[in-house]
A = this chain, B = another copy of it.
Amino acid sequence: MSKIEPSWDYYRTFLMVLKGGSLSAAARELGLTQPTVGRHVDAMEEILGFPLFTRSPQGLLPTDAARALQPYAETLAATSAALLRAASGQQGTVSGTVRISASEVIGIEVLPPILADLHERYPDLTIELSASDAIEDILRQEADIAVRMAVPGQDALVALHIGPVPLGFHAHRRYLDRCGMPETLADLARHSLIGYDHETAAIRAIIARTPGLPEVRFALKADSNLAQLAAIRAGFGIGICQNALAARDPNILPVLADGFAMKLETWLVMHENLKTAPRCRVVFDALAKGLRTYIRQP
Which residues in A have some Cβ–Cβ distance to B below 8 Å?
Answer: 5-9, 11-12, 48-50, 64-65, 68-69, 71-73, 75-76, 79-80, 82-84, 86-87, 90-91, 139, 153-155, 273, 277
Contacts and interface: CB of A to CB of B under 8 A. Distances in A.
Contacts of A154: 153
Contacts of A9: 7-9
A71 B8 CA distance: 17
A76 B8 contact: yes
Contacts of A90: 48, 50, 64-65, 68-69
A7 B79 CA distance: 14
A11 B69 CA distance: 20
B65 A72 contact: no
Contact of A72 (B83, B91, B139): B83
A208 to B, nearest CB: 21
B80 A72 contact: yes
Given A90-B50, A155-B139, A72 B79 contact: yes
A7 B154 CA distance: 34
A68 B275 CA distance: 12
Contacts of A5: 80, 84
Contacts of A79: 72, 75-76, 79
A152 to B, nearest CB: 10
A143 to B, nearest CB: 15
Contacts of A155: 139, 153, 155
Given A72-B79, A72-B82, 18 more contacts: A7-B8, A8-B11, A8-B76, A9-B9, A48-B87, A50-B91, A64-B90, A68-B90, A68-B277, A69-B86, A71-B273, A72-B83, A75-B79, A76-B76, A76-B80, A76-B83, A139-B155, A155-B155
A76 B141 CA distance: 12
A286 to B, nearest CB: 22
Contacts of A64: 90
Nearest to A50: B90
A8 to B, nearest CB: 4
A298 to B, nearest CB: 38
A86 B5 CA distance: 14
B73 A83 contact: yes
